[in-house]
Amino acid sequence: MRFDSFIFPLFYVAVIATYWALRRSIRAQNALILLASYVFYGWWDARFLALIALSTAVDFVVARAIDNTDDERHRKRLLLTSLWVNLGLLGVFKYYDFFVGSAVEALAGLGVQANAPLLHIILPVGISFYTFQTLSYTIDVYRRDFRAERDWLAFAGYVAFFPQLVAGPIERATRLVPQFSQPRTIDVDRFRSGLRLLIFGLVKKVAVADNMAPLADFVFGQNPATLSGPIVFAGTLAFAMQIYADFSGYSDIARGTARLMGFELCVNFDRPYVALTPSDFWRRWHVSLSQWLRDYLYVPLGGNRGSVSKTYRNLMATMVFGGLWHGAAWNFVAWGFFHGLILCIYRVARADDRVRRATSAGRLVAGVVFFALTLYGWLLFRARSLDDVVGLTAALGRGWGTWELATPVLAVCAYFSLPVVAHHFLGRRLVGEKWAPASPWLQRALLAGVALYGLTHARASETAFIYFQF
Amino acid sequence: MRAVWREAVVSAAVVAAIVGAVDLGFRAIVPSLSANSRTLAAAPARAEAIRGYADGPTVLVLGNSISGEGIAADRLQNALRAADVAALVVHQPADTTVARDWYYELTNQFFAHGAVPDFVVLPVGDAHPLTRVNERTEDLLFSFLRWHDLPQLFRISEQAAHDRAIASGRDPTPRTELFEDRAGVALAKGLTLYGFRGRLQKRVLVTAVPRYEELRLAMRDANTSTATGEDAVSADPTWARLLAEAARAAGTRVIVVAMPTEPIEGQLPAEDRALADENGWTVLEPAATATWTREDRPDGLHLTPEARDRLTDLLAPALVDAIRAASPPPTP
């Protein structure tokens, strides 16, 4: 079920009314969350509920077993069991065809004919999100950062919690699991802020992202050989706005729906396009994934504790893995590699320190330069293949004298992305979560204004949330 | 908890009241903003004109922007009368072009009000019936539809989606999206503001964005992934068959006119001709006898005023012949 579908409001109102009617029993509320979450997910395809149930059961049992023993070898074996099951599911459902297909192609390039069966399985929605979430839980228990949850209902609710099940944020057990054991409360202020997040997120999705999608599809759907620099630039800018509004919109809706149920989810986006350096960007973009990769991959690899070369190796490995997490295709690998590379280059140049000491003009230049790099990253991300990456990159170098259709693409992009730009440059005080007029009537009027904006600017045909496919 | 529920109800009421007020405002101003809305608003008067005309045959052109800029109704009527056919020509150029919309427009805006023209003319504009997107037709459809038409609309649209899935080797099993689609259509039918948003957006974009129309057409031409039809009686043959049945039952004859758009150049595409033959419709291709250049239709679709008059003059004798062939002279 999608947040921007017509069924979701009916579903959500029914769930939340029942949920608060059950407020005297945490277990009853948790049972309702679990049931609602499975309905929410099964609405798309009930067959894949089995994967969530399997992942939940394995990690619940394994984590308890880890928690119950001090035998380090046994603990490690148990952890490996969880890793094998979770990464195995991810490998089969998401990466098998990619790696096998790539290997067959590579062998064919060497003149070796290989035949390997491909599975052609539909990618289960959100599998990367809930897999990473359950993995982090078991690893935290193994590291003794967190005690294993004894209540299976609370744990199953944590894994399948519908506000963030299919597109995050990737919540840490240390943050979310305890909330399943505590009484939840809601007051008028939390209600208002939750509703505001929900509506703002929906508007980002239907009025910004969905209107950017056809522009990006139009440009990236063409033969790169026929394109020129300005149109590639305009299409990439449209995609940059689309993916931000789409994904941060989803995160806002997730946080809003969770808050209305008395839960707090982490902030996943913080105006990423005002970032001045790569490290600044990754503190603002998909924060829950960045932190996951930092804590469960970069640091265990050695982080920046070893030699300089090892630090760069760890950075590159982490970012390439992060790229691959987004999708089983070489352009995602290239995107991760590109971000790893610019992280290393900025690190060599000590850019973070320089930017901190820079004048306003210097910071502006840094912002423009890094935004251009971010855009090129989105080109890698959105391209349909590595061949298209080469073609689009070549197109960037030609035809800057004639803007043709680039002008209307940029103008439409500017018109529909106005809320995103306003949010970035006027700050959260004006249009963000923090801002709320003192008068409740003004708050309600603001909500109505935003809803009206969404109604009049929503695109007619629906477009699925981009991050569902990850 | 009670305070939260109170806040929820008050917030919902305030949002509904403000959205409702703006909706009413839009209902008041949209007819003066949109040519389609003006056409829709004029439909009752046109139906009345057909109902009240008794001096000769009545001809209803269920047009679109292509016919709106391609057929001059007054000139056509004068030409018919000059040829001793005392016809009334009524042109309803709402910006829609698929048989589904024509069917509901004809039955709900004319037949349902006792306005039964002797002839209905369907202009067919271009040759990409299964690969066109028409972002404007949906909200017009909601204006033509009545609530009790929804089950029929759902049944036929879903059957078409099922057939398309089978044809393209996809899983045709109905999924939960069908329920959501139905809810979406009902909501769009219910909310005028929601239905008008496409036109409002387009007006803003056309006004504010340089070369927007060029971009829109380029995007339309680049999109080959949709089966939504534009400019085609045959996008889904079921609707054409329903239209034929309704016209036959009412005693209205259907005439299909191939317009001089690129690339069909006034010749009906084969699949549309097959459908016309199947339903016993008359096909007229007067534009095929002339040569049409970019000067006549700068965008390849819409004629200049001079070219429109030329087409109308070519159409008139063909239409006279069709009317005479359909209405044998009274026996002495």
Tell me, yes or no, whether A82 and A160 share the same domain.
Answer: yes
Main-chain phi, psi angles of B116, to 5 degrees = -115, 100
Which member of A7, A188, A411 has the closest CB to residue B209? A411
What are B58-75's pLDDT values in tens digits?
999 987 777 777 888 899
> What are the extents of the domains in chain B?
1-33, 35-150+202-326
Which strands form B88-91's sheet, in the order they lie side by side?
B88-91, B58-61, B119-124, B253-258, B282-284
Residues 6+ away with beta carbon under 8 Å from B62 = B92, B102, B105, B106, B120, B121, B122
Which pLDDT value is given to residue A63?
95
What are A217-258's pLDDT values in tens digits?
989 988 999 999 999 999 999 999 999 999 999 999 999 999
Q: Which residues of A touch B215 (CB under 8 A)?
A: 405, 408-409, 412
Average pLDDT of chain B, as a whole number: 80
Tell me, yes or no, whether A229 and A351 share the same domain.
Answer: yes
A74 labelled catalytic: no
Residue whose structure tokens are 């349909």: A384
* Highest mean pLDDT pick, A245-259, B167-181, B231-245: A245-259
Q: Is B330 exposed, middle or buried (0-12, 13-18, 19+ CB in 10 A)?
A: exposed
Domain boundary (A148, A165, A184) is at: A184
Task: Name the residue type at position B65.
Answer: S
Q: Which pLDDT band holds residue B215 (cuts at 50, 70, 90)?
A: confident
Tell me, yes or no, whether A202 and A61 share the same domain.
Answer: no
How far from the centroid of its chain's Cα atoms is residue B243's Cα? 12
Tell me, yes or no, whether A259 and A386 share the same domain.
Answer: yes
Which member of A218, A447, A460 has the closest CB to residue B11? A447
Tell me, yes or no, whether A146 and A17 share the same domain.
Answer: yes
Which pLDDT value is given to residue A339?
96
Neighbours of B226 (CB within 10 A): 14
Which pLDDT value is given to residue B228?
40
d(CA B196, CA B317): 39
Average pLDDT over residues A436-447: 78
Domain boundary (A184, A207, A223) is at: A184
Tell me, yes or no, whether A63 and A193 share the same domain.
Answer: no
B188 has pLDDT over 90? no
Neighbours of B32 (CB within 10 A): 9
Average pLDDT of chain A, as a whole number: 89
The nearest alpha carbon in chain A to B196 belongs to A456
Angle B73-B74-B76 from CA coordinates, rounded to 5°: 65
Q: Which pLDDT band holds residue B175 (cuts at 50, 70, 90)?
A: low
Are the beta carbons of B53 and B23 closer than 8 angstroms? no
Are the beta carbons of B322 and B86 closer than 8 angstroms? no
Tell me, yes or no, whether A171 and A195 share the same domain.
Answer: no
Interface test with B, best of A1, A3, A5, A413 (most B CBs within 10 A): A5
Are the beta carbons of A325 and A289 closer than 8 angstroms? yes
Higher pLDDT, B160 or A146: A146
Count the domains in chain A. 2
Q: Which of B86, B89, B93, B58 is nearest to B74 (CA)?
A: B89
Question: What is the SS3 assignment for B121?
Answer: strand
Please check whether residue A2 lies inside any domain of the structure: no
A402 has pLDDT over 80? yes
d(CA A220, CA A240): 13
Which pLDDT value is given to residue A96?
84
Higher pLDDT, A150 or B21: A150
Please check whether residue A246 lies inside any domain of the structure: yes
DSSP state, residue A205:
I
A449–B18 CB contact, under 8 Å: yes
Domain residues for A16? 7-184
Residues in chain A: 470
Interface test with A, best of B181, B207, B219, B220 (most A CBs within 10 A): B219
What are A331-352's pLDDT values in tens digits?
999 999 999 999 999 999 998 8
Pick the CATH number of B35-150+202-326 from 3.30.70.260, 3.40.50.2300, 3.40.50.1110, 3.90.1300.10: 3.40.50.1110
Residue A41 distance to chain B (closest CA, Å): 12
Q: Which residues of A375-400 are buried (b: 16+ CB within 10 A; e: fewer)?
A: bbbbbbbbbeeeebbebbeebbeebe
Average pLDDT over residues B323-330: 73
Q: Which pLDDT band holds residue B33 (cuts at 50, 70, 90)?
A: low
Residue B9 distance to chain A (closest CA, Å): 11
Tell me, yes or no, whether A247 and A330 share the same domain.
Answer: yes
Q: For residue B137, give both structure tokens.
A: 């037709």
Residue whose structure tokens are 């008008």: B196
d(CA A130, CA A133): 5
Main-chain phi, psi angles of B233, to 5 degrees = -75, -15
Q: Which residues of B touch A184 (CB under 8 A)?
A: none
Share of chain A above pLDDT 90, in %: 61
Tell me, yes or no, whether A107 and A220 share the same domain.
Answer: no
Question: What is the SS3 assignment for A353?
Answer: helix
Tell me, yes or no, whether A122 and A211 share the same domain.
Answer: no
Tell me, yes or no, whether A153 and A286 share the same domain.
Answer: no
Q: Which of B112, B57, B54, B127 is nearest to B246 (CA)?
A: B112
Using the Cβ of B45 and the Cβ atoms of chain A, whether some distance falls under 8 Å is answered with: no
d(CA B274, CA B278): 6
Higher pLDDT, B177 or A338: A338
Which pLDDT value is given to residue A48?
87
Is the backbone peptide bond immediately before B263 cis, with ω within 30 degrees of 0? yes
Please check whether residue A1 lies inside any domain of the structure: no
Are the beta carbons of A67 and A148 closer than 8 angstroms? yes
End-to-end Cα separation, chain B, in angstroms: 87
d(CA A200, CA A180): 26
A279 has pLDDT over 90? yes
d(CA A193, CA A435): 9
Which pLDDT value is given to residue B195?
55
Domain boundary (A119, A151, A184) is at: A184
Are the beta carbons of A386 and A330 closer than 8 angstroms? yes
Residues 6+ away with beta carbon under 8 Å from A226 = none
Q: Is B113 exposed, middle or buried (0-12, 13-18, 19+ CB in 10 A)?
A: middle
Are the beta carbons of B153 and B97 closer than 8 angstroms? no
Higher pLDDT, B273 or A432: B273
d(CA B332, CA B321): 21
d(CA A213, CA A288): 25
Which pLDDT value is given to residue B225?
47
Residue whose structure tokens are 């899983």: B171
Tell me, yes or no, whether A83 and A148 share the same domain.
Answer: yes
β-bridge partners, B59: B89, B119
B215–A7 CB contact, under 8 Å: no
Helix, strand, coil % over all residues of chain A, rounded to 5: 75, 0, 25
DSSP state, residue A406:
H
Residues 6+ away with beta carbon under 8 Å from B201 = A456, A457
B218 has pLDDT over 90? no
A376 has pLDDT over 70? yes
Which member of A186, A409, A415 has the closest CB to residue B215? A409
